């Protein structure tokens, strides 16, 4: 698991509030005599906004590079390489550099399945296949199959290929809610101590593109992004810095999103 | 703990839905210097129907074959040998072969205390005594003692005796709710790779009898039941099959209950 | 963690009810390469009153005797040495010997921050400093910082000093709710097998003083208190006995509080 604590500011409320989180994963696996791995994960999460929760389980089986899972699935789009490379700071702030997050057009923003840390999730099914540098991921959820946990039908897929230090990924989602139809492309790579990434998405006609980069100098890593959204009033920009304490990190970030709101945070984060 | 995933069908809704479960037991024990064992169990459970939960604890002490417990008790009837030997499939479906489950007369069906995996349970007390082949189990719950967790007063008891491969058990419950008065008898045994069981219950006048059997061929086990309920429109029947993968099992079942509804399931189950 | 079970009586309802509790702590720590400890705690708790819960996390970092924490903080007053030395029995009953608990004047009773075992807690910040025999503890919470988890602003502090077998502590709280302003003094110590303690508090003008004592004879410890509260109708008195089984304890207590209500309990308690 992991934990973090710090402070968070946003220009909408003008308030600086405490940021605290602890996440404990309960991972269980077993292996059949023929070599199939069976596993399940349950997560305990305490956020600053309320008491701790137990989320919905993700149960899976995997063999020869193929994993089949049911329940609180990861979701293809949410798992796509490069999707969250633009995140800055301790908390990722408003994720204004993520190209599926159309800040200025909330209708098309977060309508895709992803692992829920404190809720039941999509109650869907998914298959993930890895062979050499290739990864393919198909996820599916709908109201009947999920006993009502998912309100709409979503089919999402991505394919990604890694060659040397570069990764290219293409993702698609078809949903029964038209505003959730998405096409996403990401490219990311490393040149020595520098990282660079590009992402673009068509969110049911609402396009968004983003560039991100990072540079590491010893224990310090600086990263940032700029993103341009079709309906946005301005360019979204973000800047973050991480100082590695060896086992824990001091992290800070500041971000202005596409509608001009500013957020910042500062704190420490560690894994255990 | 254990986990499972698969699909479940019922003829009432006509729907096939995802079935997923993960159960994590937190068992704690300590021993006094005089050899008394003190223990407690808490369970984390995630079902397909919602987010995960923490149940009520069962706290116990045991010595010389006697166990005294308080809280989320197992309950005498629910713990009786042979009670659930008729279950088929991944999920036990509607438990139509369980003789205390009067499908056609819901008033008398599940009115007895049992361990609650996601709730507080009966908040009662119980004593379990084992000596040689004999086991006796007495459980008690009522509104005042349980601070309101139990709505009625229930006293339940069973006695069971194992001789060679055969087990006979007799259980009784007296409740402040008359429809919950029950008398249950079970007999079960093994003849080589074949298992056979008989159960009968008087559920406050609503009688139900059931026969179950199983046969194991290598890694495959087939089991089934037929049950006859006084108010039932038809015989309840069920058939299940389990294929042992060594560490996990593929399980499937189909069942028609006493009012003619059909259910089926298919999936994998494993322990960890 | 720890667990207990037993029975509890109070003269208000006249009822004897089941008492059951299981507490499981999930403690996680890591250390940076420069020797700073980072940690977090999450607690699972099942009480007799309902199903189990996951509380809010307390996240901390510590180095060289200084600990900084955020979230579900311990709170300075609640952590003060000598505050709970008067507790008797399995459950501490009504804590009638605790000088901040003004039984006869509920307005000033429990208005200070403390670790919440089943809720989110104060969502505050605190610093604890230890050097030699000295410990200082400062805690702070307020509505904005806590995103609404705390309804008022509280600043609390205590300083304590240990010399030989004696501990003296002085605590103060200033709150935006006037009735929560408090000054607390405790003195406690040991003389061989006998323990003795004195505590006094000014709870926004409502004064309360208490004396407590204990005596250990082999495996048996007897303890008790008398407390005098300004608005109380009578002296509060309590008597408890603990028999150490080695790994578990049998505990019983009886208490009459300042308004004349009587409570008693009896049971076993153990840690794991």
Contact C171, C145 (CB under 8 A): no
Q: Distance between CA C234 and CA C103 in Å, rounded?
A: 11
- Cβ contacts of residue A13 below 8 Å, gap of 6+? none
Q: Does A24 touch chain B (CB under 8 A)?
A: no
Q: Does C37 touch chain A (CB under 8 A)?
A: no
Q: Does residue A111 register a pLDDT over 80? A: yes
**Stretch A178-196: mean pLDDT:** 97
Range name among B33-47, C40-54, C206-220, C235-249 with the lowest pLDDT average = C40-54
Q: Distance between CA C2 and CA C22 in Å, rounded?
A: 6
Q: Does residue C218 register a pLDDT over 80? A: yes
> C44–B26: do the CB atoms touch at under 8 Å?
yes
Query: What is the CB neighbour count within 10 angstroms for residue A208?
Result: 30
B32 neighbourhood in chain C, CB within 8 Å: 245-248
Q: Does residue B208 register a pLDDT over 80? A: yes
> B144–C24: do the CB atoms touch at under 8 Å?
no
| C-alpha R_g of chain A | 19
| C-alpha R_g of chain C | 19
Q: Does residue A49 register a pLDDT over 80? A: no
- Cβ contacts of residue A240 below 8 Å, gap of 6+? A87, A88, A89, A222, A223, A224, A251, A252, A253, A254
Of A55, A61, A70, the CB nearest to B52: A55
Q: Does A52 touch chain B (CB under 8 A)?
A: no
Share the mean pLDDT of chain C.
97
Share the mean pLDDT of chain B.
97
Kind plus residue range of the DSSP H or E element containing C79: helix C76-79
Q: What angle do CA B40, B45, B48 make, to 5 degrees?
A: 165
**Stretch A125-144: mean pLDDT:** 97
Residue A29: phi and psi, rounded to 5, are -140, 155
Q: Distance between CA C211 and CA A219 in Å, rounded?
A: 56
- Confidence tier at A51 by pLDDT (50, 70, 90): confident
Contact B117, B34 (CB under 8 A): no
Q: What's the pLDDT at A44?
A: 97
Query: What is the per-residue pLDDT across A200-228, written as a single tens digit (0 to 9) for each?
Result: 999 999 999 999 999 999 999 999 999 99
Q: Which of B206, B201, B192, B231 is nearest to B86 (CA)?
A: B201
Q: What's the pLDDT at B113?
A: 97
B55 neighbourhood in chain A, CB within 8 Å: none
Distances (CA, A) of B149 to A45, B140, B155, B229, C51: 27, 13, 15, 31, 10
Query: What is the per-residue pLDDT across B167-182, written as a single tens digit (0 to 9) for each?
Result: 999 999 999 999 999 9
Q: Which of B1, B5, B45 to mutate to test the interface with A (most CBs of A within 10 A)?
A: B5
Kind plus residue range of the DSSP H or E element containing B2: strand B2-10
Contact B94, B106 (CB under 8 A): no
> B245–A31: do the CB atoms touch at under 8 Å?
no
> B147–C246: do the CB atoms touch at under 8 Å?
no
Q: How far apart are the first and last CA of chain A?
A: 5
Query: What is the per-residue pLDDT across C93-115, written as a single tens digit (0 to 9) for each?
Result: 999 999 999 999 999 999 999 99
Per DSSP, the residues of B113-171 read ----SSS----EEEEEEEETTEEEEEEEE-TTTTTTS-SS-EEEEEEEEEETTEEEEEE
| C-alpha R_g of chain B | 19
Q: How far apart are the first and last CA of chain B?
A: 6
Q: What's the pLDDT at C152?
A: 97
Domain around B198: 2-271
Query: What is the per-residue pLDDT across B119-132, written as a single tens digit (0 to 9) for each?
Result: 999 999 999 999 99
C106, with CB counted inside 10 A (0-12, 13-18, 19+), is: exposed
Q: Which of C139, C94, C147 is nearest to C115 (CA)?
A: C139
Q: Distance between CA B195 and CA B199 in Å, rounded?
A: 14
Measured over the CA atoms of residue A56, residue A62, residue A65 and residue A70, the dihedral's sign is: negative
- Cβ contacts of residue B59 below 8 Å, gap of 6+? B39, B40, B69, B70, B71, C3, C4, C5, C20, C21, C22
**Stretch C153-157: mean pLDDT:** 98
User: What is the Cβ-side half-sphere exposure of residue B126, based on CA atoms within 13 angstroms?
Assistant: 31
- Confidence tier at A50 by pLDDT (50, 70, 90): confident
Q: What's the pLDDT at B49?
A: 72
Question: Which contacts qualify for B21-24: CB closer than 8 Å, 24 or more apart?
Answer: B21/A57, B21/A59, B21/B45, B21/B46, B21/B47, B21/B48, B22/A28, B22/A40, B22/A41, B22/A42, B22/A57, B22/A59, B22/A71, B22/B46, B22/B52, B23/B117, B24/A26, B24/A28, B24/A42
Q: Does residue A33 register a pLDDT over 80? A: yes
Of C51, C54, C270, the CB nearest to B55: C51
Q: What's the pLDDT at B133?
A: 97
A49: nearest CA partner in chain C:
C147
Q: What's the pLDDT at A270?
A: 98
Of C42, C59, C145, the CB nearest to A17: C145
Query: What is the per-residue pLDDT across C158-196, written as a single tens digit (0 to 9) for each?
Result: 999 999 999 999 999 999 999 999 999 999 999 999 999
Q: Distance between CA C162 and CA A125 in Å, rounded?
A: 60
Separation in Å, CA of C86 to nearest CA in chain A = 30
Q: Distance between CA B180 and CA B70 in Å, rounded?
A: 22
Strands A53-54 and A58-63: unpaired
SS3 A165: coil
Query: What is the domain-level CATH number for residue A188?
Result: 2.40.160.10
Q: Distance between CA A101 and CA C237 in Å, rounded?
A: 63
Q: Which of C211, C209, C100 is nearest to C158 (CA)?
A: C100
Report the number of secondary-structure helices (H) and strands (E) in chain C: 1, 17
Q: Distance between CA B260 and CA C123 in Å, rounded?
A: 55
Separation in Å, CA of B261 to nearest CA in chain A = 19
Q: What's the pLDDT at C51?
A: 83
Q: Distance between CA B26 and CA B28 in Å, rounded?
A: 7
Domains: count for chain A: 1
CA torsion C230→C231→C233→C238, rounded to 10°? -60
């Amino acid at each position: 698991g992991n934990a973090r604590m710090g402070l968070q500011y946003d220009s909408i409320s003008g308030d600086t509030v405490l940021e605290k989180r602890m996440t404990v994963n309960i991972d269980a696996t077993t292996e059949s005599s023929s070599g199939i791995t069976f596993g399940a994960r349950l997560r305990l999460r305490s956020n600053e906004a309320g008491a701790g929760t137990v989320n919905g389980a993700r149960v899976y089986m995997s063999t020869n590079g193929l994993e089949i899972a049911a329940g609180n699935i990861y979701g293809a789009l949410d798992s796509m390489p490069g999707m969250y490379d633009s995140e800055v700071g301790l908390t990722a702030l408003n994720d204004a550099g993520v190209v599926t997050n159309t800040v200025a057009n909330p209708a098309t923003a977060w309508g895709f399945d992803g692992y829920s840390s404190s809720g039941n999730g999509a109650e869907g099914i998914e298959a993930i296949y890895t062979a050499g540098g290739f990864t393919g991921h198909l996820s599916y959820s709908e109201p009947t199959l999920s006993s009502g946990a998912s309100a709409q039908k979503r089919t999402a897929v991505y394919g990604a290929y890694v060659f040397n230090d570069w990764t290219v990924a293409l993702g698609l989602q078809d949903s029964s809610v038209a505003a959730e139809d998405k096409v996403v492309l990401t490219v990311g790579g490393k040149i020595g101590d520098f990282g660079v990434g590009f992402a673009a998405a068509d969110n049911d006609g609402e396009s968004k593109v983003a560039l991100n980069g990072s540079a590491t100098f010893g224990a310090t890593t600086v990263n940032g992004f700029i993103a341009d959204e079709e309906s946005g009033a301005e360019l979204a920009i973000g800047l973050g810095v991480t100082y590695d304490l060896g086992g824990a990190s001091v992290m800070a970030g500041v971000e202005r999103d596409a509608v001009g709101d500013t957020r910042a945070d500062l704190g420490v984060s560690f894994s255990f």
